[in-house]
Amino acid sequence: MKCEDCNTKLNYFALLESFWFGFKQVKCLRCDSIFEHTSFNRILGGIIVFISTLVSNMTYIGEKALLQTFFVMLLSMFISSLITPLIMKFKKIKTKIHEK
């Protein structure tokens, strides 16, 4: 995703961190514009949890393998969340462009 004001690409890891830690706002490093997550991103997060749970249930072997099933669920959540910054959508809420 690029900033609407200065056309700077937003940091992938900042977007990912924002997604992992409660949909926090993201700030453009160049012009200080602030973006917030849209409801699409929150739905996307729910879908990731649902799919990860579904995958772990499909791989569930029995009570002896409960730890492995939990690990599969966490691994699938982690892997699927790595692609989310590529498809997330943001809404600009504040612009702080400093004029020269």
**Residue 87: inside a domain:** yes
60 or 25: which leads in pLDDT? 25
pLDDT at 96: 61
Res 63 pLDDT > 70: no
**Residue 7: inside a domain:** no
**Residue 2: inside a domain:** no
pLDDT at 99: 41
**Total domains in the fold of the chain:** 1
Please check whether residue 25 is in contact with residue 36, taking contact to mean a CB–CB distance below 8 angstroms.
yes
pLDDT tens figures, 23-32: 888 888 888 8
**Residue 99: inside a domain:** no
Average pLDDT over residues 33-39: 89
Please list the alpha-helical segments (H only) found in the chain.
12-20, 39-58, 66-82, 84-87
**Residue 35: inside a domain:** yes
